[in-house]
Amino acid sequence: MRQFLTAYDSNCDDSKQFRTNSSTGAKNYLYHSFLMYRLVPKCRLNFKATAQKPVEYKYGSRSVAIGDFDNDTVLDMVVANHIVNNIAVYLGNGDGSFRDPTMYSTGSYSSPYMVIVADFNNDNRLDIAVANFGTNNISIFQGFGNGSFAKQIEFSTGSSHPIAIIAVDFNNDSLLD
């Protein structure tokens, strides 16, 4: 069962790729778009099913987020792995493929459900936020701008068991809430 779909341009060819992920241990796929018209508000995408590149996440992936973590103008990705209680950061090679992942622990029994990417501390470097269902908290991994991240900072959500997270400037102060 596919649970999440993420769209991005991983090889800078102005076509979109879509990455699926699944928590059932099934293979995850990268679908390449070979045609994209940039017409606003209409956009036509055609996908060639034979252009799949399977990426095996062996750790119970729940969600995927995309960003440039090492400031090389190539998109990278982070995956929430709920079975092994960590996130995996995959740095992009610029051709649609990724280097081996670097794992960051989200804590015992954390069961991370969702990851998002944004600059949470306004240092112009991407950070990662994780909704941890099992430990009732949100983790922030502050980015160093070179593809690596600091140990997580945890924020309690009480007994809510978070499964989703968003970052928006709700009060118009130019800071993410």
In a domain, 81, yes or no: yes
**Cα distance between residue 148 and residue 60, in whole Å:** 22
The domain containing residue 11 runs over which residues?
4-156
In a domain, 164, yes or no: no
pTM of the predicted protein model: 0.74
- pLDDT in single tens digits along all 177 residues of the chain: 334 444 445 455 554 444 444 444 444 444 443 333 333 334 444 444 433 455 566 666 788 898 999 999 988 889 899 889 999 999 988 877 788 899 999 999 999 999 999 999 999 999 999 999 999 999 999 999 999 999 999 999 999 999 989 888 888 888 887
In a domain, 172, yes or no: no
DSSP letters of 61-127? EEEEEEE-TTSSSS-EEEEEETTTTEEEEE-B-SSS-BPPPEEEE--TT--EEEEEEE-TTSSSS-E
The domain total for the chain is 1
